[in-house]
Structure formats: C-alpha cells, structure tokens
C-alpha cells in the first residue's frame, strides 16, 4: 500500500505542531512519520555565522524544496531516506542526518510547506492553521528566546523585517490551496476529528483497492 501525505502549513508559531500532535493522538497509530520543513533549510556552510543570521529564512528560496520533493517521493514509494537536520543556533544545516523509514501516514509541517506545486500535488490532505498575528508574535518571542538562544531585540528585528512581510507575501496566500483551514484561537477538536476520519477513510479505501 502506498503511504499518504498530509501537509500542514501556517504562520510561524500558529500552532501547527499542536494540531499535528492532536491528529496523531486521535489516530492512535504508530505508523506515522513527521517531516519538519525547517530541516530542509539550505546548507549555508559557505558563509560565516554573522551573514547566516541575516538570511531571510521566511522566503521560499531559503528552502531546498528539490531535496524535499525527492525525499517525499521516495517515502511515498516505500523507500527510506536520510533526512537533513537543522541547527537553529548556528543558522545552518547540521552535520547529522536522520534515517526515516516509510510509514502509512507522512505529515509534512512548515510555514511554507504548500508553496511548491510539486509537493502540494503529492498530498492527500492540505491543512492551514491560522492564529491572530499578535498571539503568533508573542509565541514566537517566547520560543526563540527560550529554545533558540535569541535576544528580544533580535526576535523583534527579524519579525518586523522578514517574518511579518513574508507571512503576507507567501505564507497566508497558501490558504487557497487548502482543504481545511483551522482557526487556532479556539478549540479545534471538530476539525481534527474530521481530518482523522478522512485519513482513515483514505487508508480504508486504499486497502480495499
């Protein structure tokens, strides 16, 4: 049976990972692989750290979608991959890779995960998670300080110069490609239930075929 791909997009700190975790918990299945689009930021080892800090990581060009497309195609054809990993402190691709084996359900999550048509066309279900801009900024500020070693000034500067304008230019327009839009400022239990039912329906029909 060929695996199925589910893509979850949305603004930075909108709650994409929370939605993904809820889907997995309700599926009650271990046959799920999660791919973070962040791990596919381009390798910038050829430029110094201070320059890497200034790169616009919210622009589609910062991501290696050719590699991601090839990896997703391999997984959907039941072939394992060596997935890159990313170091947010070094602003660069890490030296270590992660072996990912194919599973029945593959979930791709990232702010720009629907930007590439080749990747969109692989998906059975496309989801967009949205949240009020102010709440997303507060969440991002807390996360980047606590988990990624950033300063308040650095987070604010990055948000105003790249995160906010890129959200309106590239991230938000992805909503038009989605099957389901989840507002994350309220309970999304019903939306998750619908998604889980659809996943089970697709898997069941594939088994019958």
pLDDT of 189 above 90? no
Cα separation values, 164 from 64, 104, 105, 152, 182, Å:
22, 35, 32, 16, 20
DSSP per-residue string spanning 31-64: -EEEEEGGGGBPP-TTS-HHHHTTS-TTSGGGB-
User: Residue 186: pLDDT band by 50, 70, 90 thresholds?
Assistant: low
Q: Are 108 and 174 in contact (CB under 8 A)?
A: no
Structure tokens at 162: 């790249």
Query: What pLDDT is attached to residue 206?
Result: 62
Which residues have CB under 8 Å from 15's CB, separation 6+? 129, 131, 139, 184
Residue 5: its H or E element = strand 4-10
pLDDT, tens only, 19-72: 999 999 999 888 999 999 999 999 999 999 999 989 999 999 999 999 999 999
How is the chain split into domains, by residue range?
A: 4-208
The kind and range of the H/E element at 136 are helix 133-148
Mean pLDDT of the region 188-194: 87
pLDDT of 87-143, one tens digit each?
988 999 999 999 999 999 999 999 999 999 999 999 999 999 998 889 999 988 998
Cβ–Cβ under 8 Å, residues 17 and 131: no
Q: What mean pLDDT do residues 73-96 have?
A: 95
Task: Specify whether domain 4-208 bears CATH 2.40.10.170.
Answer: no
The model's pTM: 0.90
The mean of the pLDDT values for the chain is: 92
């Amino acid at each position: 049976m060929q695996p199925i791909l589910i893509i979850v997009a949305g603004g930075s700190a909108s709650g994409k990972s929370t939605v993904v975790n809820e889907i997995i918990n309700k599926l009650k299945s271990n046959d799920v692989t999660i791919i973070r689009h962040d791990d596919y930021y381009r390798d910038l080892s050829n430029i110094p750290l201070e320059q890497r800090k200034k790169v616009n990581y919210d622009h589609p060009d910062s991501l290696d979608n050719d590699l991601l497309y090839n990896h997703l195609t391999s997984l959907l054809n039941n072939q394992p991959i060596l997935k890159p990993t990313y170091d947010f402190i070094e602003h660069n691709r890490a030296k270590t890779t992660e072996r990912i084996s194919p599973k029945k359900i593959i979930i791709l999550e990232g702010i720009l995960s629907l930007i590439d048509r080749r990747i969109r066309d692989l998906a059975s279900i496309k989801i967009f998670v949205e949240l009020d801009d102010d709440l997303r900024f507060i969440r991002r500020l807390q996360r980047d300080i606590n988990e990624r070693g950033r300063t308040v000034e650095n987070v604010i500067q990055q948000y105003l110069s790249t995160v906010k304008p890129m959200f309106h230019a590239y991230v938000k327009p992805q909503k038009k490609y989605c099957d389901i839009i989840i507002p994350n400022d309220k309970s999304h239990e019903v939306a998750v239930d619908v998604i889980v039912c659809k996943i089970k329906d697709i898997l069941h029909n594939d088994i019958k075929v």
